[in-house]
Amino acid sequence: MARRRRKKKLSPFTVVGVIVLCCVLCGTFTYKTITLKAESAKYSAQISELKKEKKKLNEQKAEIKDYESYAKTKEYTEEVARDKLGLVYPNEIIFEPNDK
């Protein structure tokens, strides 16, 4: 004698509960996706800005290195001695323009 198994019917509250749970999960995932994309765009813009700043700083660094190598030359020493200290070579004559 074969017994039949009865299939249990789901109550309407269970079905509604599962549907609501699925909607809440989908809404949460959608919200998180949108916020993460917005953060990603913000960070991409920040990275771009930092790359520009890095390039500018590298250019300044190169200029400073060039100036440092120039400052170690005899030409620079003479220029500073003449302009700031007013020094001249022995027997050197300096002509200055007349102020009117």
Going from N- to C-terminal start, the domains of the chain cover 15-83
74-83 vs 12-71: helix crossing angle, rounded to 10: 80
Cα 97 from chain centre: 53
Q: By percentage, how much of the chain surpasses pLDDT 70?
A: 96
Question: By the 8 A CB rule, do 81 and 87 touch?
Answer: yes
Q: How much is the average pLDDT of 10-26?
A: 94
CA distances from 40 to 29, 46, 53, 98 (A): 16, 10, 20, 67
CB atoms < 10 A from the CB of 81, how many?
Answer: 13
20 — pLDDT class (breaks 50, 70, 90): very high
